[in-house]
Amino acid sequence: MTIEWVCKHHTDLGKEQLYAILQLRTEVFVVEQKCPYQEVDGRDLEGDTCHLMAWDGDRLVAYLRLLDPISQGGDVVIGRVLIAEQARGQGLGHTLMEQALKQAERHWPDTPIYLSAQAHLQAYYSRYGFVVAGEQYLEDGIAHIGMRRS
């Protein structure tokens, strides 16, 4: 697998890229995780939202969204973190987080980063300097916990 990492401001996304993002997010979060919810939430094209993508040829294999701190009350917010099913188990998630932290620092230096982690992934995100910020809660039937990296 040869991965090309691309991080684009929403205004620079091509329609094929946006389609691939929305298709993969729906595949993972709605179909695979069996969570019927409004996945397209209106945040993809607002503010200074950036989209971090990993492409293997013409296939999107990893993705996350970076919401800007101005629209999010002071924190960069990482969300919609995913690895395509066929690309799992190859360490791509670690590279995705490293790339996310690098892009957040590039776009918004010295700004805290927040994410809403599925609770079972708390130790994973802790490896990247995230600490629990709040109580565990249910979102779409899945236990989550807020985490922040200062």
Contact of 143 with 130, CB cutoff 8 Å: no
Among candidate residues 60, 65, 76, the one with its CA nearest the CA of residue 40: 65
How many Å apart are CA 147 and CA 138, to the nearest integer?
15
pLDDT, tens digit, 9 for 90 and up, residues 104-149: 999 999 999 999 999 999 999 999 999 999 999 998 888 999 999 9
Give the CATH H-level superfamily of domain 1-147. Gcn5-related N-acetyltransferase (GNAT) (3.40.630.30)
Residue ranges of domains in the chain: 1-147
pLDDT, tens digit, 9 for 90 and up, residues 58-113: 999 999 999 999 999 999 999 999 999 999 999 999 999 999 999 999 999 999 99
Q: pLDDT-based confidence at 55, cuts 50/70/90?
A: very high
Calculate mean pLDDT across residues 35-49.
92
- Whole-model pTM: value is 0.95
Beta partners for 44?
A: none
